Amino acid sequence: QVQLVESGGGLVQPGGSLRLSCAASGSLFSLNAMGWYRQAPGKARDLVATITSDGRTNYADSVKGRFIISRDNAKNTVYLQMNSLKPEDTAVYYCNVLGGYRGNYYPGQSWGQGTQVTVSS
């Protein structure tokens, strides 16, 4: 079972930047697509960025052009660089292994604790 540990969240002003990290256990990390999800209070958990095992990326329209997902397979880590942050980006951010395929991804069964991102002046 994959274990996921997210970090890097915090309080940032609108227009600011944060870089989230997600460390994953398991020797098969490099073979899996990975994704970042976020969940705002009272809302569903949404997939905002994905990266395939060979580095192809995709983004939700709400973050396209502002967020960048990347991965370091040697470190079993996936990152989310978040720029030009807006108050509506406030949420708990989670990463997960992805099954399925682009346009029809689903998350793995295990979730980490997430990391809180708050965008406020």
pLDDT tens, 34-83? 999 999 999 999 999 999 999 999 999 999 999 999 999 999 999 999 99
Predicted confidence at residue 1, as pLDDT, reads: 77
The residue with tokens 């397979």 is 73
Predicted confidence at residue 28, as pLDDT, reads: 80
Predicted confidence at residue 102, as pLDDT, reads: 85
Residues facing residue 77 across a β-bridge: 23, 72
Q: Residue 93: phi, psi to the nearest 5?
A: -105, 135
Predicted confidence at residue 11, as pLDDT, reads: 98
The residue with tokens 């991102």 is 117
Please compute the mean of the pLDDT values over residues 18-34 and round it to a whole number.
Answer: 90
Spatial neighbors of 117 by CB under 8 A, at least 6 apart, are 9, 10, 12, 18, 20, 38, 82, 85, 89, 90, 91, 92, 93
